[in-house]
Structure 1
Amino acid sequence: MHEFSPTMPTRWSPQHVRRPGSGEAFSDESAWTLIADLLRAGHEIEVIILDKPPGKTGYVLKCDGYEGEKIYMKIMMGSGKVIGRSFHVSKRRDRVQ
């Protein structure tokens, strides 16, 4: 699930992210599949403290995207659900937002 509110902003735009290999755009479903596959594979996760909502824990995954792009994903837990906060191409090369 992903939802926007002023207290919990999101940048969830898989339709603007191209899949590695094929270059086709992600859908919401395939974005969640990628996140689940990365988690199952033991992909590196960065634990962060969110500004919004203040003090909550977020989990960041980064992976290679299409033709050298980097995909940035951020999720958090809320009300017993995983909430998608970010899914987009990273605009920064050395420090991903």
Structure 2
Amino acid sequence: MLDGSAEAKAFDDKEYVKLHQSTLRKVDCLQTILERTASGSLKNNSKFYDIYGISPQGIAEMIKDNWLIGLLWTGITLILGGYIGSLF
């Protein structure tokens, strides 16, 4: 994979095979990233709060993305709803 200045030099030197190979390598890297993103197997070093944040919308997204947390949240809201309903 050539960087910008190396690609410009290769173009000036009419080394079109190097340019083509560089382009193919970049496309291959992008394809790998997109495939892993689509399949959910892309690994990164993000922390939990970097992904979801600490906001109501972030918490809702976390619950939606993780079935176990969603199940726990449903159980907690049902129990609290039953308890608060019995008070009235």
The answer to whether TM tops 0.5 is no
- Give the TM interval when normalised to the shorter protein: under 0.3
Tell me which protein shows more strand as a share of its residues. 1
Tell me which protein shows more helix as a share of its residues. 2
Q: TM-score, normalised by structure 1?
A: 0.21
Q: TM-score, normalised by structure 2?
A: 0.22
Which is higher, the Rg of structure 1 or of structure 2?
2
